[in-house]
Amino acid sequence: MRRILTTLAILATLSLAGCATDQRNDALTTTLNAYASTVRWGDFATAQQFVDPKVREAHPVSTLEMARYQQYKVSGYDEGKGPTPHGEFEVTQVVQINLVNVNTQSERTVTDHQTWHYDAEGKHWWLVSGLPDISRQ
């Protein structure tokens, strides 16, 4: 009888852990899709809301930087192979973003190395690497 109760307790614990993992993975998928959609529309002001609040506070986006984002239209957003897990609460992703300068109509590609961290307390994924750096050539 004791063995059966121990086995049931272990199974219950594993199933709860599995549910937490499923919820975390679902939240990651939802967050990455919403962020990608926001960037595809070129809405970098809203995309900034995906950035970890501590990172936003430490590295605020200047008015000049926001004006630079508005100078471009996004013509492509390619996640490549998708997110790569680094431990239980962090994933990285390399994204190719195609940008068209609205003034010159020239297109270029920016590689965005994203790092996402899961806040277990808030049950939320945050972008800790910040918005893509579009100032580099």
The beta strand positions in the chain, using DSSP E, are 72-78, 84-85, 90-101, 107-119, 124-127
Arithmetic mean of pLDDT, 25-35:
96
First CA to last CA distance, the chain = 68
Can you give the residue ranges of every domain in the chain?
2-127
95: confidence class by pLDDT, cuts 50, 70, 90? very high
pLDDT over threshold 50, residue 102: yes
Q: Give residue 22's pLDDT.
A: 85
pLDDT over threshold 80, residue 4: no
Q: What is the CATH number of domain 2-127?
A: 3.10.450.50
**What's the rounded Cα separation, in Å, for the pair 74 and 41?**
7
Arithmetic mean of pLDDT, 79-93:
94
Q: Give residue 17's pLDDT.
A: 43
pLDDT over threshold 80, residue 13: no
pLDDT over threshold 50, residue 6: no
Arithmetic mean of pLDDT, 88-109:
96
Q: How far is CA 102 from CA 25, 50, 89, 105, in A?
A: 37, 25, 38, 5
Q: Which helix (H) or strand (E) holds 6?
A: helix 2-40
pTM: 0.82
Q: Give residue 49's pLDDT.
A: 97
**% the chain with pLDDT above 70:** 84
Arithmetic mean of pLDDT, 7-22:
47
